[in-house]
Amino acid sequence: MTSIKFPNHNGEATYKTQTHIHIMKTAIIFACLLAVAFARPNPDAEIVKQDSDVGPESYQFAVETSDGTRKEESGKLNNVGSDHESLAVSGSFSWTDEKTGEKFTVTYVADENGFQPQGAHLPVAPAV
């Protein structure tokens, strides 16, 4: 198992395995998605369109509510049957701000490199 060296607050080296890093990434992704899900609840919105197709190695779904909120996602299992199975997900979600009427859209990819959102309203990290 690969270990990665990180300095701690005392300047001493600590080591984290790839498993620990994967768990942290998963927890961060879950927390972000949970925050998005609860950021703008609208109890009056109703589902006006819903489609899904779930198979053993892939899935896709789309949902739209009466307030214009949309969510689309597809995922595919890679390296099926190997020790390196992984899920590659892509999708988008959008909503309209009730106060300003501004529409926001986030597109994303989630794969072995983590959750990678993009949107005109999101900050962009400086190039390294």
Euclidean distance between CA atoms 82 and 91, whole angstroms: 25
φ and ψ of 28, to 5 deg: -65, -45
Task: Give per-residue pLDDT as tens, 35-64.
Answer: 666 565 566 888 899 999 998 889 999 999
Give the per-residue pLDDT at 128. 78
Query: Count of CB atoms within 10 A of residue 95's CB?
Result: 21
- Take residue 46 and report the two structure tokens written for it: 């109703």
Task: Give per-residue pLDDT as tens, 109-119.
Answer: 998 888 999 99
